[in-house]
Each structure stands twice: as C-alpha cells, then as structure tokens.
Amino acid sequence: MDKFIKWLEEYYAPVATRIGDQRHLKAIRDGVVSLIPLLLMGSFFLIIAFPPVAGLAKMVEPYVGSLLSVNNATMGLMGLMASFSIAYSLAGSYKMDPLGNALISVATFMLATPFTKDGNIASAWMGSKGLFVAMLIAIFVVEVQRYMIKKNLVIRMPEGVPPAVARSFMSLIPGFISISVVWFINSMLSMSATNLQDVIYKILAAPLLSLGGSLPAFLLAIFFAQLLWSVGIHGAALVGGVMSPVYLTLAQQNAAAKAAGLPIPNIICQQLWDVYGNIGGSGATFALAIMLLTIARSKQLKALGKSAIGPAFFAINEPILFGMPIVMNPVLMIPFIFAPLISITIAYFAMDAGLVDKLFVMAPWTTPPIINAFLDTGDIKAAVLQIFCFFITGAVYYPFFKMWDAAKTKEEFGAAQDAKAKSNLTIGV
C-alpha cells in the first residue's frame, strides 16, 4: 500500500494537476462555474413553479408560465452566457482585454446560431444545447486575437489615447476575422440546410453527452476524483473542471424537460454526485462523522467528531479529511473511494427502476442531506433513498473506522502510560 501511495504522489498527482491547470480547461471550468449562481436561481424558481406539495402546486398553477420565464432567462441561456464567461476567463489568463474578447465571442456565437424562419432567435440553442459551441467559439476568438497580437497584426493607437479606446481598436481586426470565419463556415453549411451549431452538436456534443452520461464513465470520474483527494488534491474541482460542462448540460436538460411537462431524461447529472455521492462532503463521510461523535473510543477522534459534525451537515468535511486524517491514509482511503461509488450506483438503479424520481432541480451543494434530496426531486422517496445510502456508506466505513479507532486508542493509552511513568520518576527523584 505504501508503494501505491508513493506512486500516486510521484506520477498520478502531478499529471492530474497539470491537466487541471491546463489553460483552456481552466478557462472552461471557471467560465462554467461562474454560471452556477444563475443556475441556482433558475432552480429556485423551478421549485416554486413545481412545488412538491399537491396543494401548493394547485395554488401556483396560474403563475407557472411567469415563474418559468426566470428559469428561461437563467438556465435557458447557459450557452449564450458561457460564450461570454469562458472567453472572459481565457483572455484574462493571457492578460488580454477580457471584456472585448467576451463581447466578440457572444457576437460570434450568435452568428453561428440559426434563426427561425420569421427571424427570431432559436432559443433551443441558447441553453445547454449550445454550450459546446460556446466553448469552442470562445477559445477560437481569444486564440485568434492572441495570435494576431503576437504577430503585431492589430491596430495600435498612439500614446495618450484612452486605454478603453486603444483596446477597442486592438480587437478590431482579430474580431473581424473571427466573425468572418464563422460567418463563412455557417453560410457554406446553410447551403446544405444545416448550421454550425447543429454540426458541432452532432459531431462533438452528442457523443460526449452520451459517453459522459453513462454510469461507468460517471463512476470512473468519481473514482479519479476520490483518488486525487486521497493524496491531498481537490479531486472534485479537478475532475469537475473537465466534466462539469457534461454534467451541467445533462442537469439543464432535466430542468428543461420538467418545465416543458416532459419526462425527465437523465439520471446522470451534477446533482446525482452532490446528493448521493457527497453525503456530508467528498467521500460521503457524514456517517463517519456521526461514528466519530458517538462511538469513537479514542479521545482524539471523539473530539474531531464534535468539531466535524457541524460542517458535515453542509457537506464540508475538510476537518475529517485532514484531521483524522483520510488524506495519505492507506487504511481510510479504501472506504473513502468506494463509499460514494456504491451509494451512487444504488441511487442510479433505484431511479432507473422508477423507485424514486429523477433529479431536475439544482440546490446549492451545501444544502443539508435529506433536504437536498427532497428539493432536487420533489419526491420524499428520494430523501428515504438518501437515508438508506447513508447507512450503506456507514457500513462501508465501519470496519475501517473501528480499526483506526483501536489504533488511536492504543496510541493514546501508550502515551498516557509513558506520561505516568515519567511522572512517577520525577516524584521519586
């Protein structure tokens, strides 16, 4: 086991960190993460529009259309807003003009988007369906400008011109080229009765969503995230940085289907990880926190349980990860990795069998257990399922917890005996 941890430290962690720090992936992650407040607000109005209580649902029924307009203006514009935020983030990482690049990216995204026959915006491409086009266009726009600045193919204004004006002229030629290229490609595609959004969706987005939305791929992503946490790297942030566009797209598809009164299509989504894989934080450590508080014999572990139980209610478990510790601990790494995998697998098949409703609302990840399961589905059975998963994760942790508790208790007893012996020796002197 020690050799395995050493291998993780020397080879796995550095490679994973380099991938997580890759500039374009980081820009996508930061750009998409910046949209989360909007997604949460959209989810909030989705809960109001479709409350889980029949009496309330009847009361709000006349106002559903108005309430959903908020959802359409937040979650429903995920793609459009991502074209802005990702370009802004990437340009900022290059120390270029973030605002100018973001605006050109939005204009280019709109150019790639088909309009309806009567000249209206095709709203279907504004949301999650257009997210992957938004990502590609944002990167394209920024890279074109970076290349042209590097080759000095931009208009530079003389000194004394206000910086805002100088930046506008500097982005003029690169922006013109980016827009022209996308316009040309889209015009060529339109001759075949298609468009850039549709082509990229079929070639790139649909396969990615299909692959990323499968249970094996989802479990593999969580496995790597837990493995990273085990060596002290924020695995959820790194893996989520790569996979969050897929999971958020699937989540938005669920919200859109619910708003349209259609069956919810996806089991795999961001909330599946949050609700059933992170009960009490990464590694589903809520059951472990309760064991530390209630049945630990070690004074150190019991004290840790007292300090960790409060944050664990809000899915914050760093006190346990680094206090117990789980990080770099070959004994506790095993349940830490496998408890969320088992919990998510149980939840997946429960939803697949129709025993509980699928997730369509995105409550904040810090929402306490049971509440988040109920809010995200509107189904009380989902909360019951989460309680069941809580006991399952407790059963996974229990033998490893007992082993660690016994070792700590023995260590404390030995330390107490040594202290007593030293005390007797001092008195004898």
Q: What pTM, to 2 d.p., does this model score? A: 0.82
Burial of residue 247, with CB atoms counted within 10 A of its CB: 0-12 exposed, 13-18 middle, 19 or more buried: buried
The mean pLDDT of the chain is 89
Per-residue confidence (pLDDT) for residue 77, from 0 to 100: 92
Locate 405 and state its tokens: 């508790």
Percent of the chain with pLDDT over 90: 53
- Cα of 284 vs its chain's centroid, Å: 16
Locate 207 and state its tokens: 């396969």
Whether residue 429 is predicted with pLDDT greater than 60 in this model: the reply is: no
Mean pLDDT of 380-388: 96
Percent of the chain with pLDDT over 70: 97
Per-residue confidence (pLDDT) for residue 1, from 0 to 100: 61
* Residue at 64: amino acid letter: V
DSSP 8-state class, residue 121: B
Burial of residue 57, with CB atoms counted within 10 A of its CB: 0-12 exposed, 13-18 middle, 19 or more buried: middle
Per-residue confidence (pLDDT) for residue 271, from 0 to 100: 92
Task: Give whole-number Cα distances, 199 to 77, 185, 245, 351, in Å.
Answer: 20, 11, 18, 32
- Which tens digit of pLDDT belongs to each residue from 140-176? 999 999 999 999 998 988 888 888 888 888 899 999 9
Per-residue confidence (pLDDT) for residue 369, from 0 to 100: 94
Per-residue confidence (pLDDT) for residue 292, from 0 to 100: 95
Q: Within 13 Å, how many C-alpha atoms sit on residue 361's CB side? A: 26
Per-residue confidence (pLDDT) for residue 157, from 0 to 100: 86
Whether residue 211 is predicted with pLDDT greater than 90 in this model: the reply is: no
Rounded to whole angstroms, the Cα distance separating 48 from 1 reads 50
SS3 assignment, position 334: helix
For residues 95-130, b (16+ Cβ closer than 10 Å) or e, as one string?
ebbbbbbbbbbbbbbbbbbbeeeeeeeeebbbbbbb
- Which tens digit of pLDDT belongs to each residue from 60-109? 889 998 999 998 899 889 999 999 999 999 999 999 999 999 999 999 99
Mean pLDDT of 396-416: 91
Whether residue 204 is predicted with pLDDT greater than 80 in this model: the reply is: yes
Confidence of residue 341 (pLDDT cuts 50, 70, 90): very high
Whether residue 5 is predicted with pLDDT greater than 70 in this model: the reply is: no
Mean pLDDT lowest among 114-118, 192-196, 396-400, 402-406:
114-118
Q: Comparing C-alpha atoms, which of 336, 351, 340 is closest to residue 382?
A: 351
Rounded to whole angstroms, the Cα distance separating 196 from 190 reads 9
